[in-house]
Structure 1
Amino acid sequence: MKKICVLFATALLLSSCANLNQLGNGLNAVNSQNTGNTTNTAIKDLLLQSALSGIGNLGTRNGFLNNSLYKILLPPEAQKIAGTLQMLGLGSLVNNVETQVNHSAEQAVVLAKPIFTNAVKNMSITDAAGLIAGGDNSITNFFKQKTSNQLIAAFMPVIKASLDKNDATKYYNQLATTYNSVPLVKNKLNPDLTNYVANQAMNAMFSQMATAEKNIRHNPAQQTTAALKQIFGNK
């Protein structure tokens, strides 16, 4: 998570002669300096490191399942009827599906790295300056805007394959079919888990990224370099 803090140190690369107060106007700061290819590359590398903090440990074994903040539960409509499902003898199916859902998300989020890499590669130095000088979650919002569609498209095949391979799709279909066949049930369960899990996995990444970004901007304890303290210490 601390990787995100390094991006702010690039402010010194953007303005070696100008006053640091110019960071409030990142575009002017960049345009007034001679930023060569080496500097631009360094800035983008550091921004990428911050983006990858969103993946963090989520892509490791049990990265979702053992994470109290980001563990993926069954869809809300399924959670509401959990007691009924237990009564129908489907408790083990519920647990099995939930476990496999989280494992499929672990496999998917690692695919975010090349997508983030490409977004940074195509980023202008103006964009980079704006992110550094922006609001609490300007970096997170940039990557969310630029990569969300690509992330979902990349995640869904992997998640579907994982759910199918581990029979989670079959279990959840059985669960949904059994519940939906109960007389007088009005709110039917949607048996398609793939899109739901893909969105939950992506949202977890961006939530983790946003938390890290906001923390370094406002928490003096996370401002671990002289540059960070000089830039953000008076805010």
Structure 2
Amino acid sequence: MKKTILLTSVLLFSVSTNAQIFEAIKSSVKDQLKKPTTTTTKTNSTTPANSSSPVNLGSLTSTQISSGLKEALNLGVNEGVKKLGVTDGFLKNEAVKILMPEKLKKIDTTLRTLGMGSLADQGVKLLNRAAEDAVVEAAPIFTKAITSMTITDAKNILLGSDNAATSYLQGKTQSQLFNAFQPKVKASLGKVGADKVWTNLISKYNTLTGQAVSTDLNEYVTNETINGVFKMVAEKESGIRNNSVMRTTSLLQKVFGAQDGK
């Protein structure tokens, strides 16, 4: 009898305990369902690559930079004119040599076919002689253009390409340089006899072929001479930018030294 009572008590306790556990689990589940669902989104954080820090121009002002750029340009003009304004300064320098005008290349071909190549060579030689004679007048014309030029973006030009200042000068002054320099070239073409030789060349070609070829040699040689000077200026600018030995003044050292780390 006692065993029966004991067994019954154990069973009742077990049922009661299980019921309590069940109620606790049920209550816990309800609480979880009432809570708002949160979603954890995994984000990939990308660390930007270290970009090179901008060149520190220190205390340099735009006025100082502009003055330094102009000084470099003037050096390029003066040295370039000295190199070009001598016999063979254009003719023997392949970078600036003035070739047969595009419109007249068929004259060159025809003359050489007819065994008159020396006449064509003489024509090209005299174009270069005219440029060599006229270019000595270029320095003051270029200097005036450089002095009067306002550089509106000096810092970016300083930190630009090896010929950034030269390109800026050419873009700002090409037309005024042409107008000022053209009379000098015209006089030089007459002085070296290029105008007469070319008039004769074109006349002979037109007679032989029945064509009517013509070109403005003054305009052509003026443009080619100016472009030759710009090439020399660009060469000097590149040297100053990349070789500290060529920075021969304190201003050039200060201004172009600041761009060394670009």
TM (norm. structure 2) is 0.62
State the partner residue of 1:73: 99
CA distance in 2, matches of 1:95, 1:155: 25
State the partner residue of 1:22: 56
Question: Are the structure 2 counterparts of residues 89 and 172 from structure 1 closer, same or farther at C-alpha, using a change threshold of 3 Å?
Answer: farther
State the partner residue of 2:3: none
| Root-mean-square deviation (Å) | 3.6
Identical counterparts, % of pairs: 37
Which aligned pairs between 1:74-153 and structure 2 lie closer than 5 A?
74-88=100-114, 90-124=116-150, 128-153=154-179
Q: Could you tell me which amino acid in structure 2 is paired with residue 99 of structure 1? A: K
Which aligned pairs between 1:136-215 and structure 2 lie closer than 5 A?
136-183=162-209, 189-215=213-239
Q: Could you tell me which amino acid in structure 1 is paired with residue 244 of structure 2? A: Q
CA distance in 2, matches of 1:142, 1:107: 27
Matched, 1:223 2:262: no
> Which range moves more in the overlay, 134-143 or 49-58?
49-58
**Per-residue deviation at 1:123?**
4.1
TM (norm. structure 1) is 0.68
Alignment: residue pair count: 204
CA distances 1:28-67 after superposition (whole Å, capped 9, x unpaired): 9416xxx79xx98777545422443443501222211121
CA distances 1:90-121 after superposition (whole Å, capped 9, x unpaired): 43332222222111111222222222322333
Structure 1 or 2, whichever has the larger Rg, is 2
Question: Are the structure 2 counterparts of residues 60 and 233 from structure 1 closer, same or farther at C-alpha, using a change threshold of 3 Å?
Answer: same
Flag structure 1 segments of 5+ consecutive residues without an equivalent: 1-19
Flag structure 2 segments of 5+ consecutive residues without an equivalent: 1-53, 248-252
Equivalent residues of 1:172, 1:191 under 8 A apart = no
Question: Are the structure 2 counterparts of residues 123 and 178 from structure 1 closer, same or farther at C-alpha, using a change threshold of 3 Å?
Answer: closer
